[in-house]
Amino acid sequence: MKNFLVHDDKTRAEMLESIGLKSAEDLFKQIPANARVENFGFEKPLSELEVQKKIKALAKKNKTDVISFLGGGVYNKFIPACISQIANRFEFLTAYTPYQAEISQGTLQVMYEFQTMMCRLTGMDIANATVYDGATACAEAMLMAVRIQKRDKVLVSKKLNPEYLRVIKTYAWAGGIEVELFEEIPSAAKDYACVLIQNPDFYGEITEITKPEDTLLIVCTDISSLSILKPPAEYGADIVAGDIQGLGIPVSFGGPHAGIIACKEKYMRQMPGRFAGRTVDKDGNQAFTLTIQTREQHIRREKATSNICSNQALTGLCAAVYLSVTGEKGFRQTGYLSAKNAHKLFEKLSEIGIKTLNKNFYNEFVIEVGNADEFLAKLKSNNIIGGLKLDDKRILVAATEMISDEDIDLYIKSLL
């Protein structure tokens, strides 16, 4: 490790002497002894070969060859092989923030193309180049509405993803915002900054939405569902928040994710994140640059409208490549196959007497069983993850284009 140490012993001794200390340990004397961790329990050092063997042995404990019907915000979707090849190119695989447009044209163009795709899918006028995930997208959209409306109360659907709701409540608590939950969309909400709904909701149900009067409508959506569902703009959304995990992003035990926010043009100055714009240079050639916001939006907290200071640009790149290589027809086909498989499983479960709780859904639905643990254990014995347990009796079941007819038949056979 010596080659990786910045300073040699002589330099460190000179630095300590300059501040009147004899050793690095003296830097930590102010920390009480009972607050220090003396032993981290690390194993003895290993060689690179030994580390590789150990990591491979640990990796084999992960069961990855399963048939998955999990949903609830994370979906097992087909990922074209070219995505990882492009995303891992050194030009893109960087934490660099492209302020210097003259050396960042490729990254900026990807951001611009991604934003354009998100606008086409949502029907909104402008989209940012991602935020951290769907949860922070919802929370930041709520803060946007509070600033725009100058009201400190918001209405949020009870059928929102519970993880998203927890993040929203945390943001609201810190900002002195009152969050009220609702079952049915109100017809008017003049005292509230916004009405925030999820469509399809966390339980898979597609909701018929009429925009409430006198407030902003925020629609949270899984962007991959817009392959076959109406864009939120068509039913009155002012702001759209969403997650793009279903667009070429692996499940990977829960991450990574990326969220987006899109809105009507008149609200764009209140939107957090980064924006790439297209223009021409002095020679009349096409050029891309960060736009709309000042640099201070990202590096000076007191000047920013949000603490979202960066984004998930690499994940956004994966989504842009995914949409490019699948194309409009292919993207629509993935949505159609997901819905087809989910509805086929729904019908077969109903036929064998399993109670299904949805009426109108896209690719996931809720079933009610006598004992959720026993139900899922039966499926697990046949290498099937049968769904996401909601409580002792309810399970959220999802299907994507990765599910085959044979998988559905095995699911039913395992229960008989």
Question: What is the structure's pLDDT at 1?
Answer: 43
**305: which residues sit within 8 A by CB, 6+ positions away?**
143, 147, 270, 272, 297
**159: which residues sit within 8 A by CB, 6+ positions away?**
197, 198, 201, 202, 203, 205
Residue with tokens 């044209």: 105
Domains (range + CATH), the chain: 67-78+327-415 (3.90.1150.10), 82-320 (3.40.640.10)
From first to last of its 416 residues, the chain has per-residue pLDDT tens of 455 667 888 998 999 999 999 998 888 888 888 888 878 888 888 899 999 999 999 999 988 889 999 999 999 999 999 999 999 888 888 766 677 777 788 889 999 999 999 999 999 999 999 999 999 999 999 999 999 999 999 999 999 999 999 999 999 999 999 999 999 888 888 899 999 999 999 999 999 999 999 999 999 999 999 999 999 999 999 999 999 999 999 998 777 899 999 999 999 999 988 889 999 999 999 999 988 876 656 666 676 777 666 668 889 999 999 999 999 999 999 999 999 999 999 999 999 999 999 999 999 999 999 999 999 999 999 999 999 999 999 999 999 999 999 999 999 999 99
Kindly state the tokens that stand for 303. 């000047």
Alpha-carbon gap, residue 177 to 150, rounded angstroms:
11
Kindly state the tokens that stand for 72. 């609830």
Contact between 278 and 286 under an 8 Å Cβ cutoff? The reply is yes
pLDDT per position as a tens digit, 240-272: 999 999 999 999 877 789 999 999 999 999 998
Q: Which of 391, 398, 400 is closest to 372 using CA atoms? A: 391
Secondary structure of residue 70 in the 3-state scheme:
coil
CA dihedral 243, 245, 251, 254 (to 10 degrees): -30
Burial 243-274 (b: 16+ CB within 10 A, else e): bbbbbbbeeeeeeebbbbbbbbeebbebbbbb
Alpha-carbon gap, residue 344 to 336, rounded angstroms:
12
pLDDT per position as a tens digit, 199-255: 999 999 999 999 999 999 999 999 999 999 999 999 999 999 999 999 999 998 777
User: What is the 8-class DSSP label of residue 230?
Assistant: P
Contact between 234 and 124 under an 8 Å Cβ cutoff? The reply is no
Q: Which of 140, 126, 128 is closest to 264 using CA atoms? A: 126
Strands 286-290 and 355-356: unpaired
Cβ count near 21 (within 10 Å): 13
Question: What is the structure's pLDDT at 299?
Answer: 65
Contact between 292 and 269 under an 8 Å Cβ cutoff? The reply is yes
Q: Is 346 left (phi over 0), alpha (psi -120 to 50) or beta?
A: alpha
Secondary structure of residue 49 in the 3-state scheme:
helix
